[in-house]
Amino acid sequence: MDLIIILHAGVASGTVLLFATLGELFAERSGVINLGVEGMMLIGAMSAYSVALYTGNPWLGVVIAMLAAGLISQIHAFIAITLQADQVVSGLAITFLATGISLVLGEGLSKAGAVSLLPNLSIPLLSQIPLLGAIFFTKQSVLVYIGFLLIPLAWYYIYYTRPGMHLRAVGEYPAAADALGINVFRLRYFYVFLGGILAGLSGATISLAISPGWFSELTTSGQGWIAIGLVIFAQWDPLRAAFGAYAFGALRRLIFDIQGPTTLLGLANPFYYNPYWGFILQMMPYAFTIIVLVIGSREALRKRLGAPAAIGVPYIRGERGL
């Protein structure tokens, strides 16, 4: 069991969480919780895989996946923003709906055979850096590098650009933003759409790059929900979100790989000789999510940090809001 191999694979599987987490982060920053991430990821994974299968072009698959998930997210946007319904229930409904749709349309896809996947590449100079080069820049999927680029972009956008400031204003104090001439409704629709697009990208990352294929609901196996947990842990900060995503990716790989070798640190590997301990290992990512949430919540309580003030609250013009 080589640590570098695990971290290398961890960065790859962390990319899945990264896209979904950043997408949800944008939506929540604008004041809309979208609990449909898991469903949108499934839609993304399913449509990416089937488009790549039928056209032979994985890139087209990625684009369609993003659009399909973005489309689904707009149902949530319509219900939550225009119809002002409860966002929690609406998000859950989106998960059911999207899961159902992807199961229906993905019927038979799991036996469909191999598709052309997205290419893996090494970055010429950066891959020469000792240790880091081997983990981050050698033979990773293109999408992993897109993920690397997205982190600083999201961070800079949210904190240092004008639209980013509008985004935060809409999530913190929509009435004031409205008074300043910012179109609260349009921005919220847009960021829910962005969240959907990124969730679709995250799904495509699974089915076309990280663990290729369509395994119905097991394709995502709850990663959409972990992403929502990570947003809370990250306290709506993209850098912390990225850290959380990669840490969880590495953890997933560790759990997966630890059962392989016969010896562990020179001792007999208990996980190899007791394969049923695998079930205990399977609990780990989910247990860690809860632990991470507890840590995040304690910290938020202590520092009086918190969610965007208007999160989950529909904005109704002319009504005294927050």
Partner 1 sequence: MSEMDTPNNSTSSEEIPPSEPIIRSFPYRLRIEPRMEEPARWYPFLLFLGALVLALVIGGFLLVLAGGDPLRSYAHIARASFGNIGVISDTIVKATPIIFTGLACSIAFRMHLWNIGAEGQFIMGAFGAGAVVLIPLLPEGTPVWIFIPVMAVAGIVAGAFWGFIPGFLKARLKVNEIITTLMMNYIAIAWINFFIFAVWSEGGFQMTTKFPDNAWLPRLLDYANRIPVFRGLTTHLGFLIGVLAAFVLWYIIFRSRWGYEIRLIGDNPRAAQYAGINIQRNTILVMMVSGALAGLGGMSEVAGVVHRLQTSPIAAGYGFTGIIVAWLAKLNPFGVVLVSILFGALILAGREIQPSGLPKMIQGIILVCLIASDFFIRYRIRFVRLGEEI
Smaller CB distance to partner 1: residue 85 or 112?
Answer: 85
Distances in Å between the alpha carbon of 92 and those of 37, 217, 307? Answer: 9, 15, 20
Residue appearing with tokens 């919220």? 188
Minimum Å gap between C-beta 265 and partner 1 is: 24
- Cβ atoms of 216 and 106 within 8 Å: the answer is yes
SS3 content of the chain, % helix, strand, coil (to 5): 70, 0, 25
Smaller CB distance to partner 1: residue 48 or 80?
Answer: 80
Minimum Å gap between C-beta 270 and partner 1 is: 13
Minimum Å gap between C-beta 170 and partner 1 is: 12
| SS3 call for 291 | helix
C-alpha span between 64 and 19 (Å, rounded): 16
Among 5, 131, 309, 316, interactor with partner 1 by CB under 8 A: 316
Among 57, 211, 216, 259, interactor with partner 1 by CB under 8 A: 216
Query: Phi-psi category of 116—alpha, beta or left, where left has phi over 0 and alpha has psi -120 to 50?
Result: beta
Half-sphere exposure of 298 (CA within 13 A, CB side): 6
Q: How many residues bind partner 1 (CB under 8 A)?
A: 60
Residue numbers 45-104 binding partner 1 by CB under 8 A:
75, 78-79, 81-86, 88-90, 92-104
Smaller CB distance to partner 1: residue 58 or 106?
Answer: 106
Smaller CB distance to partner 1: residue 10 or 106?
Answer: 106
C-alpha span between 227 and 44 (Å, rounded): 15
Minimum Å gap between C-beta 306 and partner 1 is: 9
- Cβ atoms of 93 and 99 within 8 Å: the answer is no
- Residue 161 in contact with partner 1, rule: CB under 8 A: no
**Residue (of 196, 136, 138, 171) closest to 307 by Cα position:** 171
Residue numbers 225-284 binding partner 1 by CB under 8 A:
225-226, 228-229, 232, 276, 279-280, 282-283
Stretch that binds partner 1, among 15-23, 56-64, 120-128, 222-230 (CB under 8 A): 222-230
* Entry field: residues in the chain: 322
Smaller CB distance to partner 1: residue 137 or 190?
Answer: 190
Smaller CB distance to partner 1: residue 134 or 313?
Answer: 313
**Residue (of 300, 37, 81) closest to 187 by Cα position:** 81
The distance in angstroms from the start CA to the end CA of the chain is: 54
User: Interface mask (CB under 8 A) for partner 1, residues 188-207, using x and -?
Assistant: -x------------------
Minimum Å gap between C-beta 232 and partner 1 is: 6
CA dihedral 120, 122, 126, 131 (to 10 degrees): 80
- Cβ atoms of 111 and 215 within 8 Å: the answer is no
- Cβ atoms of 236 and 29 within 8 Å: the answer is yes
- Residue 289 in contact with partner 1, rule: CB under 8 A: yes
Stretch that binds partner 1, among 48-56, 63-71, 202-210, 215-223 (CB under 8 A): 215-223
Minimum Å gap between C-beta 21 and partner 1 is: 13
- Residue 222 in contact with partner 1, rule: CB under 8 A: yes
Interface residues with partner 1 (CB under 8 A) are 35, 75, 78-79, 81-86, 88-90, 92-107, 183-186, 189, 216, 221-222, 225-226, 228-229, 232, 276, 279-280, 282-283, 286-287, 289-290, 293-294, 297-298, 300-301, 316-318
